[in-house]
Amino acid sequence: MFTTNAKVNYMKNKTYAKIENKNDLELLITELPDIHDNEVSIKVINCGICHSDISAIDNAWNLSKFPLVAGHEIIGEVVSKGKNVKNHNVGDIVGLGWHSGYCHNCEYCKNDDFNFCVKTKKTIYSQTGGFAEFVNADSTAVIPIPKGMDLDKIGPLLCGGITVFTPIIEFNIKKNDKVGVIGIGGLGHLAIKFLKAIGCDVTAFSSSPEKKNGILLMGANEVIQSNDDETLKKYNDRFDFIISTVNRKLNWNRYLECLKPRGRLHMVGATLDALDVSVFNLMKGRKSISGSPVGSPKNIVKMLEFVKKHQTYPDVEIFRFDSINEAISKLRKNEIRFRAVVKW
């Protein structure tokens, strides 16, 4: 834990920033704004690197403003707090994910569904993100980390983990349900671990045959080719729930036929292609297609308790912050085994 006896100059903030027209992130000293009455300031211990960070660095979604400091899977220590903050104290170990603030006035905020807030503040688009020494955030968005957890492995849970955990609990997936997971990467491997801990019968759909043994070891009951339509036909009417973590087009009608009546195909992978599906395939079994973003703070708390109990941490590779460009390069080349984390 960081000591706070010495006075820290919060205004000077060491960051790794993307400068426009530069390939690598560069060390940049910036000024950290003073915290507001409802905010806390966090000294970053480590931060996961997500594909969404790479999208922000590349401005793939046309939302980035440069210089940009990415990073939204943050673990750190509270070093100061605003006068209205009651839920965190200086010295607390906390996490911060995709959102760093909410309006607190819309119907979703009032119902604790903060992730649907119409005026959410994004950690990497609205401010300095977690590739930094310090970051500020609305105290509501900051999550207490249970004591005894492995701090090096928690960061990726705050984005990838909660993205797959939320639909699992909100659609009441339970023991012995037959569940399919499409895409066994950073999101999919966590989905398998969560579902196995619940007691589900888990089938992994993967386009990488060389991953089969590793996928079975992490808890899948079976592994089949995600792009083999003939093989998929053998699984008609089998699954209660299928969760897709991929960002590419697949034969979605084929997967709908794999669902039982009342089954659900749920999308958490941000495919940019339109879904080409037959309405008849939905109607004949009263099947559903849905999607969801990251989860609410209350669900993140539930997830962390679940992970601590079942030890369902992500598989991570750890780098020092001064090797952040190496970590990003390896992630771009799919050379990272599931998740990357950088630490000071």
Report the CATH number at residue 34. Answer: 3.90.180.10
* Same-domain pairing of 319 and 194: no
Does one domain contain both 205 and 335? no
Q: What is the DSSP letter of 40?
A: E
Asked whether residue 189 falls in the same domain as residue 120, the answer is: no
Q: Domain check: are 21 and 132 in the same one?
A: yes
Q: Do 96 and 181 belong together in one domain?
A: no
Question: Are 22 and 109 found together in one domain?
Answer: yes
The answer to the question of residue 57 being in a domain is yes
Beta strands in 52-91 (DSSP E): 74-81
**The token pair that represents 154 in the structure block:** 């928690």
- Percentage of the chain modeled with pLDDT above 90: 86
- Report strand pairing: 339-343 vs 316-320: parallel
Q: Tell me: do 196 and 176 sit in the same domain.
A: yes
Per-residue pLDDT, averaged over 273-299, amounts to: 93
Domain assignment present for residue 3? The answer is no
Which structural domain, as residue segments, surrounds residue 252? 161-291
Q: Does residue 7 fall inside a structural domain? A: no
Sheet holding 259-267, edge to edge: 222-225, 201-206, 178-182, 239-244, 259-267, 288-291
| pLDDT score recorded for residue 7 | 46
pLDDT band at 4; cut points 50, 70, 90: very low
User: CATH number, domain at 188?
Assistant: 3.40.50.720
- pLDDT tens for residues 220-259? 999 998 888 888 999 999 999 999 999 888 999 999 999 9
Burial class (CB in 10 A: 0-12, 13-18, 19+), 27: exposed
Give which of 33, 129, 18 is closest to 76, Cα–Cα: 129
- Same-domain pairing of 31 and 116: yes
Same structural domain for residues 232 and 262?
yes
Residues 24 and 151 in one domain: yes
Query: What is the model's pLDDT at position 309?
Result: 98
pTM: 0.93
Residue 209 has a pLDDT of 83
In total, how many domains does the chain have?
2
